[in-house]
Structure 1
Amino acid sequence: MKLVVLACVVTLALAAPRPDETAETLVDERSDSGDGNFNYNFETSNGIYEERVGTPGEEGQSNMGGTIRFTLPDGTLAEIVFVADAAGYRPESPLIPTPHPLPAHAIEQIAFAEEQRRLGVEVDK
């Protein structure tokens, strides 16, 4: 049994992706004003790109927005545009899975419940 586990671990280690050791940094621009405002731009020769802008938030958090791009193993360019603020981290990308749409009867039930709530109907729990 131990031999099987060891073989699996070795196989996973050998199959793990390796970073491109020949990649060079093409762009590395950073600016930080010290008051919570910053920007960052980074790009490598193997297609990794990130730009980020940050500002201080009203609730003490850092608000950020930016773009991340990299090439997937199949050659597809992946791009993620994101915002991170008091409302949380919100990435957008066609590569991020989305839930299936709700069936019509579920949408009708939600609309009915919202209407009942609007009318002040209370349900005993």
Structure 2
Amino acid sequence: MKYFIVLALVAAAAADVSHIVRHADADAQIVKQDSDVFPDQYQYSYESSNGIAGQESGVLKNVGRGSNSYISPEGEHIQLSYVADENGYQPQGSHLPTPPPPQPIPDYIIRSLEYIAAHPPAPEPARRA
């Protein structure tokens, strides 16, 4: 019987109760919302009581532009804007990492490419199966 009680106490302590604890954002309300949808274009915007906001628009050409903003768990105001077109999704925001600038091609690579261009390899003879 003691074993069963200990097992029950361990199970209760290890149980996932995250669904019981309510987060402050769970009670957020939509305070502003607007949308227009047409056969060849659309636009919408929204804003919630917890500071989350977004807006987007697009036309049949498949170009979409939009932005989102929210407060990060660290308390930072995040602003993201984007374009989605034939070149894909292109986000912009000060919080996004940026790639390093392109590095110059080393001299030995340039010399190698010049040598290959000046001395192309001989074509391989056709093989018969």
- TM-score range (shorter-chain normalised) is 0.5 to 0.7
CA-based RMSD of the aligned residues comes to 3.5
**d(CA) in 1 for partners of 2:93 and 2:75?**
17
Q: 1:45 to 1:101 in 2, by over 3 A?
A: same
| Residue number in structure 2 paired with 1:3 | none
Q: 1:19 to 1:65 in 2, by over 3 A?
A: farther
Question: Is 1:54 paired with 2:58?
Answer: yes
- Report deviation, 1:56: 0.5
Secondary structure in 1 aligned to 2:27? coil
- Give the counterpart of 1:27 among 27, 32, 36: 32
- Report deviation, 1:22: 2.1
Give every structure 1 segment of 4 or more consecutive aligned residues whose post-TM-superposition deviation is greater than 4 Å: 121-125
**Superposed CA offset, 1:64-109 (max 9, x none):** 1011101101111111110001111100111111222233345x78
Aligned residue pairs total: 104
Higher relative contact order (CA 8 A, sep 6+): 1
Give me the identity figure in percent. 24
Structure 1: which 5+ runs fail to align?
Answer: 1-6
- Give the counterpart of 2:49 among 17, 39, 45: 45
Taking structure 2 as the reference length, what is the TM-score of the superposition? Answer: 0.63
